Amino acid sequence: ILEDLKPGVDFKSQQHLIDDHIIESMMMLQLVSALNDEFDVEITPKDLVPENFQTVDAIYALVQQLSDDEERRGRTVQYLSF
């Protein structure tokens, strides 16, 4: 996703995507939308902090956490519907 949004950047080696202005506001909106769609998660305003987008690993961790949260909520809703 990142490479599609900004080709030519070695995202794996970058440690300061926000601080170095590699990801800026418009790209952040596109990235959040793409992550939401691709991984079926909901990145909310409370998740939009620099720490969550500073590195590829941080973005991955955020998506994993949100996926796990969605899965737990789904199981809870399924359990409550019985």
Question: pTM of the full predicted structure?
Answer: 0.83
Distances in whole angstroms, Cα of residue 40 to Cα of each of 10, 24, 66: 26, 23, 9
CB 17 within 8 A of CB 55: yes
CB 42 within 8 A of CB 66: yes
Confidence of residue 75 (pLDDT cuts 50, 70, 90): low
For 29, the 3-state DSSP assignment is helix
pLDDT in tens, 9-64: 999 999 999 999 999 999 999 999 999 999 999 999 999 999 999 999 999 999 99
The rounded distance, in Å, linking the Cα atoms of 4 and 75 is 34
